C-alpha cells in the first residue's frame, strides 16, 4: 500500500514522502500492541483540536445543585454545526451500593449526551431514567449513556481543602488523578439510545468514538465544577477556587475490562485503518530529511516531559511496575543521546527510530509516539482516514485458487499453532447471560465452551485450510461455502485481509499465553488514555483527559499540547 488513503477509501492528493510501513507481522502482535502509548492521532486529541478550530464555547445552561452537590446540570457545546448537551445527575449513594463492577445498580452520578439542548420535559424524562442506566428507557435524542463514582478519598480531600482556603495536596492529586471514574460509556444504540448511523455522517462525529470522547470531556468539567460548588457552599467566606494547574491535572478515571477487547476482532477494517493511519504517520516522519529548529526545540522539551511523566507513573501491578522501571532506565540512557547535534543530522528521525530497536517494546513505541507528537503538521490530516463505514461482505465469485493464495500469505501466522495442545485451547470467550458482557472461561475447567464467541480466528483459519486442501482451484467461493457453511465467517475475513493488511491480531486468542490486557491497552491508547494501571490480566484502570484544556480553555495554546502530562508546581 503506497498510502493510507488507498486503504481507507479517501483521496488526499499527492503522496507525502515516506519509508516502507512496518510489517503487520511486526505491528499486530499482542506484546507490541500492549506497549502502545497515546499519540496526537488519538481520539481525544482529534476532538479537542476540532472544537478549538471551530472556536466552540461550552455553556453551563443549567445548574440545579443543592449545597451537598445533589441535583442536575446541563452543559451545551456546538460541534460541526450541531449542538450537544451533557445532562448530569448527582444523587446520594450509600457505601454499601458503591462498586465499580458492572453489576452495580446505583452510582454517584449518571450522564446522557443529548442531541440538542434539553427542555424541562426532556430533563424530567432523563431524571427518571438516566440514574437507572440499563434499566431506564431512552430515545433517539439520547446519544451516549454513562455513569461514574467518586474517588471518595480525593473528592472529600479537595472539598475540605478548598473550603478552608487551601489548595489540595498536589502529591495526592497526582497519584489518584481523578475526582470521578466512569464505569461505562455506552453508545451505538445500546439500551435504546441512538444508533451510530444516526450521527456518523455529522461533521465532528465521523471519526471513531467522538461522541464518547465528548461526553467524557464534559463529565470532567462537571466533576471540577461540582467539587468547587460543594466547597463553596460549605464555607463561602474561606473558600478558594482550585488553581488551574491542578484542575488541568484532574482527568476522568475509568475501569475497563473484557467488554472492550472483542471490539478489535469484531471490526477488522476499522482496526486496519487505525493501525494504517498510525503506521503511515510513522513512515512519513521517518522519511524527513531535515528537522527544523522549532521542531528540534519541541522535541527536546517533550523529552524532558517524558522523563517526568515516567517518574510520576506508578502502579501496584508488579508486572507493569517492572516494565515502567525498565522503561525509566532505558529512557534515561536513550534520551541522553537525543541532543541538538543528533537532531541536526540528516535523516535524524530515521536514525533515532533505528537506534530504539534494541530497547524494550515499550521504549520503542514511546519513541514512535514522540516522533508523531513533534510532527503534527505532517500527520494530523491522516485522522480523516480513521473511520470506516464499509461492512465486510463475502466475495462469492472469487476462485478458490485466489482464496488459497490469500490464506497462505495473510494467515500464515494462524497456520503455525498446534491445536492438539491444550495450552493452545486453554480459554474461550463468551457473553454472560446476566449482563451481556464478554467474559473468558477456562475450557478444561469450566462448562459453556459450546457457546463460545467466534474469536478463535486462528483455529477457524486452520479448519478452512484443511477443507481447502484438495479442493478444485477453479471452484468459486459461493459453491465452496454452500458445501462448508461453517467457513463463511472466516472466508470473509480472509478476503478482507487481502486488502486490509492490519485487520487481524496475529495471535491465538485461545492460548493460555494470550493476555487480554494487551488488547485493552491497544484500544485505550487510540482513545488517548495514559497511566495504564492494570489490576489483573483482564482489566485496567486508566485516566482520560489528564492535562487537557479545561472547558473554558479551547482557545489556549495547551489545547494541543498535553501529551503525557505531568504535574508541575511552580
- Does some domain include residue 128? yes
Q: Are residues 252 and 304 in the same domain?
A: no
Residue 513 zone, left/alpha/beta (φ > 0; ψ -120 to 50; rest): alpha
Indicate the SS3 state at residue 543. Answer: strand
Which of 472, 499, 526 is the last residue in one of the domains?
A: 499
384 and 449 both lie in a single domain: no
Confirm whether 509 is domain-assigned. no
Burial class (CB in 10 A: 0-12, 13-18, 19+), 275: buried
**Is the Cβ–Cβ distance between 505 and 268 less than 8 Å?**
no
The pLDDT, as a whole number, for residue 101 is 61
Collect contacts of 556-559 with beta carbons under 8 A, ≥24 apart: 558/248, 559/48, 559/49, 559/52
Strands 142-150 and 438-442: unpaired
Q: Are residues 461 and 491 in the same domain?
A: yes
Q: Are residues 139 and 230 in the same domain?
A: yes
Q: Provide the terminal-to-terminal Cα distance of the chain, rounded to the nearest Å.
A: 49
Residue 304 covered by a domain = yes
Q: Which of 293, 306, 298 is nearest to 356 (CA)?
A: 306
The residues near 482 (Cβ < 8 Å, ≥ 6 apart) are none
Domain assignment present for 513: no
CA distances from 388 to 208, 310, 322 (A): 9, 34, 37
Tell which phi-psi region holds residue 148, choosing left (phi > 0), alpha (psi between -120 and 50) or beta: beta
Distance CA 5, CA 66 (A): 52
Set of cell numbers at residue 387: 473511520
Tell me, yes or no, whether 118 and 210 share the same domain: yes
Q: All 3 cell numbers of residue 403?
A: 482464496
Residues 252 and 269 in one domain: no
Domain membership flag for residue 467? yes
Res 482: pLDDT: 97
304 and 190, same domain (yes or no): no
CA 93/CA 205 separation, integer angstroms: 34
Rounded distance between C-alpha atoms, residue 392 and residue 372, angstroms: 30
Same domain, 305 and 368: yes
φ/ψ bin of 422: left (φ > 0), alpha (ψ from -120 to 50), beta (otherwise): alpha
Residue from 504, 476, 441, 347 nearest 17 by CA: 347
Antiparallel, parallel or unpaired: β 540-544 and 251-256:
antiparallel
Could you count the other beta carbons within 10 Å of the beta carbon of residue 436?
11
Same-domain pairing of 230 and 301? no
Q: Which of the listed residues 333, 368, 388 is the one where a domain comes to its end?
A: 388
User: Count of alpha carbons within 13 Å of 527, Cβ hemisphere only?
Assistant: 27
Is residue 523, in this structure, part of any structural domain at all? no
Q: Please name the residues in contact with 221: beta carbons below 8 A apart, sequence gap of 6 or more.
A: 58, 75, 550, 551
Helix axes 457-468, 488-499, angle to 10 degrees: 100
**Torsion angle defined by CA atoms of residues 359, 360, 366 and 371, in that order, rounded to the nearest 10 degrees:** 40
Is there a domain that residue 560 lies in?
no
d(CA 402, CA 491): 12
| 274, 394, 467 from 464: Cα distances, Å | 28, 15, 5
328 — alpha (psi -120 to 50), left (phi > 0) or beta?
Answer: alpha
Positions in the chain whose pLDDT score sits under 70: 1-14, 99-103, 434-435, 569-570
CA distance 522 to 278: 12
- Please name the residues in contact with 552: beta carbons below 8 A apart, sequence gap of 6 or more: 58
| Domain extent for 318 | 4-39+265-388
Same domain flag for 474 and 429: yes
Task: Say whether both 34 and 91 belong to one domain.
Answer: no
- Angle at CA 528, nearest 5°, toward 242 and 86? 60
Closest to 32 (Cα-Cα) out of 513, 360, 502, 417 = 360
In Å, how far are 400, 480, 534 from 484, measured between CA atoms? 13, 6, 42
What is the per-residue pLDDT for 3?
A: 44
Single out the residue of 354, 334, 336, 330 nearest to residue 282, CA to CA.
354
pLDDT of residue 70: 98
8-state DSSP, 476: B
Residue 119 domain-assigned?
A: yes
Q: Which of 499, 529, 550 is the last residue of a domain?
A: 499
Residue 201's contacts (CB-CB under 8 Å, 6 or more residues apart) are: none
Length of the chain (residues)? 570
CA distance 570 to 564: 19
Statement to judge: residues 149 and 226 lie in one domain: yes
Rounded to an integer, what distance in angstroms lies between the CA atom of residue 232 and that of residue 239? 5
CA count, 13 A, side-chain hemisphere, 213: 27
User: In sequence order, what are the beta bridge partners of 62?
Assistant: 74
* Cα separation values, 174 from 148, 247, 251, 546, 565, Å: 20, 11, 10, 10, 10
Cα→Cα distances 29→26, 69, 113, 458, Å: 6, 46, 35, 13
Contact 253, 182 (CB under 8 A): yes
Cα distance between residue 269 and residue 389, in whole Å: 9
- Is residue 393 packed enough to be buried (19+ CB in 10 Å), middle (13-18) or exposed (0-12)? exposed
Structural domains in the chain (count): 3
Amino acid at each position: 500500500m503506497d498510502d493510507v488513503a488507498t486503504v481507507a477509501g479517501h483521496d488526499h492528493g499527492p503522496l507525502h514522502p515516506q519509508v516502507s510501513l512496518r510489517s503487520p507481522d511486526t505491528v499486530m502482535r499482542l506484546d507490541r500492541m500492549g506497549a502502545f502509548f497515546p499519540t496526537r492521532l488519538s481520539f481525544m486529541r482529534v476532538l479537542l483540536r476540532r472544537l478549538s478550530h471551530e472556536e466552540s464555547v461550552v455553556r453551563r445552561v443549567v445548574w440545579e445543585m443543592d449545597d451537598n452537590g445533589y441535583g442536575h446540570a446541563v452543559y451545551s457545546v456546538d460541534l460541526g454545526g450541531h449542538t450537544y448537551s451533557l445532562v448530569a445527575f448527582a444523587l446520594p449513594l450509600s457505601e454499601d451500593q458503591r462498586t465499580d463492577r458492572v453489576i452495580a445498580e446505583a452510582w454517584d452520578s449518571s450522564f446522557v449526551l443529548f442531541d440538542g439542548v434539553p427542555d424541562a420535559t426532556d430533563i424530567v424524562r432523563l431524571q427518571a431514567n438516566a440514574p437507572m442506566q440499563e434499566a431506564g428507557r431512552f430515545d433517539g435524542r439520547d446519544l451516549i449513556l454513562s455513569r461514574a463514582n467518586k474517588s471518595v478519598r480525593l473528592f472529600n480531600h479537595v472539598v475540605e481543602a478548598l473550603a478552608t482556603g487551601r489548595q489540595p495536596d498536589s502529591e495526592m492529586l497526582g497519584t489518584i488523578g481523578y475526582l470521578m471514574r466512569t464505569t461505562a460509556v455506552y453508545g451505538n444504540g445500546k439500551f435504546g439510545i441512538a444508533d451510530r448511523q444516526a450521527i456518523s455522517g455529522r461533521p465532528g462525529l465521523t471519526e471513531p468514538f467522538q461522541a464518547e470522547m465528548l461526553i467524557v470531556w464534559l463529565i470532567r468539567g462537571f466533576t471540577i465544577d461540582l467539587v468547587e460548588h460543594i466547597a463553596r457552599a460549605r464555607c463561602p467566606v474561606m473558600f478558594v477556587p482550585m488553581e488551574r494547574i491542578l484542575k488541568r491535572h484532574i482527568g476522568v478515571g475509568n475501569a475497563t475490562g473484557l467488554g472492550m477487547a472483542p471490539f478489535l476482532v469484531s471490526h477488522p477494517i476499522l482496526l486496519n485503518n487505525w493501525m494504517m493511519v498510525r503506521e503511515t504517520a510513522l513512515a512519513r516522519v521517518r522519511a524527513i530529511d531535515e528537522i527544523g529548529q522549532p521542531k528540534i526545540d519541541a522535541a527536546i522539551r517533550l523529552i524532558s516531559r517524558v522523563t517526568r511523566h515516567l517518574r510520576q507513573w506508578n502502579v501496584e501491578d508488579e508486572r507493569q511496575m517492572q516494565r515502567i522501571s525498565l522503561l525509566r532506565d532505558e529512557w534515561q540512557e536513550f534520551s541522553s543521546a537525543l541532543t541538538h547535534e543528533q537532531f541536526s543530522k540528516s535523516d535524524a528521525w530515521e536514525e533515532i527510530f533505528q537506534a530504539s530497536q534494541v530497547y524494550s517494546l515499550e521504549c520503542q513505541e514511546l519513541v514512535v509516539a514522540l516522533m508523531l507528537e513533534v510532527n503534527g503538521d505532517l500527520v494530523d490530516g491522516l485522522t480523516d482516514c480513521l473511520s470506516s463505514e464499509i461492512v465486510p461482505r463475502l466475495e462469492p465469485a472469487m476462485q478458490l485458487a485466489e482464496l488459497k493464495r490469500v490464506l497462505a500469505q495473510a494467515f500464515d501466522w494462524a497456520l503455525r499453532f498446534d491445536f492438539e495442545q491444550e495450552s493452545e485451547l486453554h480459554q474461550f470467550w463468551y457473553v454472560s447471560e446476566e449482563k451481556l458482557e464478554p467474559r473468558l472461561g477456562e475450557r478444561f475447567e469450566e462448562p459453556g465452551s459450546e457457546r463460545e464467541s467466534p474469536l478463535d480466528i486462528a483455529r477457524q483459519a486452520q479448519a478452512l485450510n484443511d477443507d481447502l486442501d484438495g479442493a478444485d482451484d477453479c471452484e468459486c467461493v459461493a459453491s465452496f461455502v454452500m458445501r462448508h457453511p461453517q467457513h463463511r465467517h472466516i472466508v470473509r475475513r480472509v478476503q478482507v485481509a487481502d486488502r486490509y493488511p492490519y485487520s487481524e491480531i496475529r495471535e491465538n486468542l485461545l492460548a493460555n499465553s494470550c493476555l487480554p490486557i494487551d488488547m485493552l491497552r491497544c484500544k485505550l491508547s487510540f482513545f488517548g488514555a495514559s497511566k495504564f494501571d492494570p489490576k489483573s490480566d483482564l482489566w485496567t484502570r486508566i485516566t482520560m483527559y489528564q492535562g487537557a484544556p479545561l472547558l473554558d480553555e479551547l482557545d489556549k495554546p495547551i489545547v494541543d499540547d498535553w501529551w503525557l502530562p505531568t504535574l508541575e508546581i511552580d
